[in-house]
Structure 1
Amino acid sequence: MTGGISQITVKIRLTVALIGAVTAIPASAGDMLVIAHRGASGERPEHTLAAYERAIDQGADYIEPDLVATKDNVLVARHENELSDTTDVGAREEFADRRRSKTIDGKLVSGWFAEDFTIAELRTLRAKERLPTLRTANARFDGLYPVPTFEEILTLVRAKEAETGRRIGIYPELKHPNFLLQEAGIDTVDLLVTALRKADLDDADDPVFIQCFEVGTLRRLNKMVDVPLILLVKGEGGPADEPALYYLDMLTPTGLKDVAAYADGVGADMRLLFGPEGIPSGLVDDVHAAGLKLHAWTLRKENAFLPPVLKRGTDENGTGDVLGMVTLLKVQGVDGVFTDDPGLVVTALGK
């Protein structure tokens, strides 16, 4: 094979790395935070109270709601402000005339948008599985759950804390805050800060992280709350509100020093943690050297989302080697992992 490394070579190298990781994994393995990515979204439709409660019952340290807002300034949990992938809005005749096309962070998006609905209207919609061909079992829950508000999520957390006797963290992500402010006049930064203050969850020792892909948003939050802030990064592009910046440049030692001026950690795509041969890229060490935490996203159980050496069987929908992936992350010293399958990761960590 020319022009690249063969899949066989990659598999061998990653196998060697995995074997070494198993022997090197520290005794403090259970210290890695388990962050339920949109709830237990490998088992229930994402961003529903059912998914969040399932994750809490499975022992997740934090639950992660992505937050957008309605036209009457209510924070709600959705993967994106566009609603057709995760709700039945496309089948609702009464909202057919709400379909729009908008340019969001440089991309043309067509559909129905949360900021064009009041909370009363949005509450008539029902959630559905976003990946029905991959997670066919989740589709049986379609139509059962409404879109939850952030206030309802906080109420659920308080109730589960009373039930379990343990602290349960909340890890909100603000989705497209600059777009919503500039195009719809909705300040989700202010809405989130107000909600956290009302719930007495804005202090440094509260179990809260706030995350965002945008630099300006984090800089604003850094002046408004004391909870730790996380800059989300990926392997391409850069912050929508800072077109001159690129994430890969921000992940150099010099770039990370700048990030540390307004954030407390980095939420990185897991693929950035490994080179093409499956060997650690050194990013975790660089992030820690800058005094920052590293939370990796997103660990999913399905073979479709795992590297070749961790796949089990030939079915892309089948469950792969989650323990192996957890081990590879932990041996690098990753501080937390976002996962669609918190129960499996909690078990893998021996929590």
Structure 2
Amino acid sequence: MKPPLISIVLPVFFVSDVTALEAEVSLGPRPAFLVADMNESPLKEKLETCLNNKPEKSNFSIGHRGAALMFPEHTKESYMAAVQMGAGIVECDVTFTKDKVLVCRHSQNDLHTTTDVLAHPELAKKCSVPFTPANPQKGEKAKVECRTSDFTLAEFKQLSGKMDGANAMATTPEAYMKGTPDWRTELYGSKGTLMTHAESIQLFKSLGVKMTPELKAPKVDMPFDGYSQQDYAQALIDEYKKAGVKGDDVYLQSFNIDDVKYWIDAEPDFGKQAVYLDSRMYKNKTWRASLEDMQALKALGVGFIAPPMFALVTLNQDDQIVPSEYATFAKEAGLEVITWTFERSGPLSGGGGWYYQSVNKAINNDGDAFVLLDVLARNVGVVGVFSDWPATTTFYANCMGLK
């Protein structure tokens, strides 16, 4: 085998030629690192043959919050990094500001962990729960909650994105902001550019990728100042229409089945690709998948369903990873399946954690990520995988001919 050709992921926010960025996909060293870490197997041999291949964009590879393993999530820099790593679809989680402008944030109330809001004292005073120091002697954690709805768009735009994390036992705002997990990095973690949803649309159009916005559950009571849940769901669609984006290029998402039904009924051109994000298996420990349930979703017009990875796999009697009943029922009902979130865990030597919980026993090294991905792609038949580091998913998709 030839030595692996390693392409370097450049700091993409310095790239000014968007056309060149779209044309050149670079994967960096991580795919080769993971392949080298795999146990010997036919899958490893197959992936090794692809290490010298020229990478190409793939819709199987979905940028989860951009490229959040190393870049501040939902920032321009994170999005551009995801595209450079070959993500054919990129996600903007959507919530709204005090003046009802749609912006890209994973949650309406995460500004205290994903931005530098606490470094702006005058703005920090406006948080729903202003910072209260921890009391280490009593074991009491710091308290703070900052919502997008606490700020106008002009105020929101004064903030910078940072790596998601917090030191819950901090006694100062400065210390609180320093809580990035040690398996991520602060190398690209300062001054991330926050974006409105409309700005993300224009960026993704210019980069030639499809879009998957998630309508986040409001943390404020709805209606909010006269703004209803349906107003919110419709506003999302309206921004795509205004930008001239066709429904075929958008995969709307929501954990709220009522949002999905609204889009299917009110905006069928967009609703036909709406994705129902399924959290039932971890929100309700007694819930069990059934064919009847999946058929009922299909009858509503739902075309895509997206559970976490662990819901789609289980172990057989030989401790091999195989499709779960959930996966079998979803495919039998004719639902297309997407899953989340690849490359969001730390080192996998301890079993992989939450995202791998149904197959922990079979996971003992970082290379096993490819074993799971292969089962999801070939045996479950997922059509897309959200990833915090899309280069890895792009590499697999390219190697297996997944467009």
What's the TM-score, normalizing by structure 1?
0.77
Instruction: Quote the Cα distance in structure 1 between the aligned partners of 2:61 and 2:266.
Output: 26
**Distance (Å, rounded) in 2 between the aligned partners of 1:20 and 1:269:** 27
- Within the candidate set 219, 225, 229, 2:274 is matched to 229
Runs of at least 5 residues in structure 1 that lack an aligned partner in the other structure: 1-14, 102-108, 162-167, 239-245, 313-318
Match 1:216 to one of 258, 267, 271? 258
Q: Is 1:120 aligned with 2:164?
A: no
Q: CA deviation at 1:145?
A: 1.7
Cα separation, partners in 2 of 1:175 and 1:335, compared to 1, 3 Å: same
Distance 1:143 1:23, change over 3 A: closer
Q: Does 1:347 align with 2:391?
A: no
Question: 2 CA distance for matches of 1:171 and 1:180?
Answer: 25
Partner of 2:324: 281
1:268 to 281, 298, 307: 307
The CA RMSD over aligned residues, in Å, is 3.1
**Superposed displacement of residue 100, structure 1:** 1.8
CA spacing shift, 1:343–1:31, aligned 2, 3 Å: closer
What corresponds to 1:150 in structure 2?
A: 197
- CA deviations on 1:139-166 (whole Å, 9 max, x unpaired) are 23333123211111111112222xxxxx
When the two structures are aligned, how many residues end up with a matched partner?
A: 303
**3-state secondary structure, aligned to 1:236:** helix
2: CA distance, partners of 1:321 / 1:236: 23
Higher RCO (CA 8 Å, separation ≥ 6 residues): 1
Q: CA deviation at 1:237?
A: 2.2
The match for 2:119 is: 91
Q: CA deviation at 1:130?
A: 0.8
CA distance in 1, matches of 2:232, 2:330: 28
1:224 Cα deviation after fit: 2.6
Report what 2:212 is aligned to.
171
Equivalent residues in 2 for 1:283-302, closer than 5 Å: 283-300=326-343, 302=346
What is the CA deviation profile of residues 237-291 of structure 1, one whole-angstrom value per residue up to 9, with x for unaligned ones? 26xxxxxxx9945x42111122121421111111111235543213222112212
1:52 aligns with 2:97: no
1:110 positional shift: 5.0
Counterpart position of 1:191: 235
How far apart, CA to CA, are the structure 1 residues paired with 2:144 and 2:225? 16
> For residue 253 of structure 1, what is the amino acid of its counterpart?
L
For the 8 Å contact 2:91–2:212, the answer to whether it is kept is yes
Residue 193 of structure 2: SS of its match in structure 1? coil
In 1, Cα distance between the equivalents of 2:246 and 2:87?
A: 21
Q: Is the 8 A contact 2:112 2:146 kept in 1?
A: yes
Residue type of the alignment partner of 2:393: V
The letter of the residue matching 2:196 is T
Please report the TM-score for the alignment, with normalisation by the length of structure 2.
Answer: 0.68
For 1:21 and 1:285, how far apart are their aligned partners in 2? 23
Query: Which stretches in structure 2 are left out of the alignment for 5+ residues?
Result: 1-37, 48-56, 130-142, 166-179
1:188-223 deviation per Cα after TM superposition (whole angstroms, max 9, x unaligned): 2121011011122343xx221011000111111112
Which letter maps to 1:236?
Answer: Y
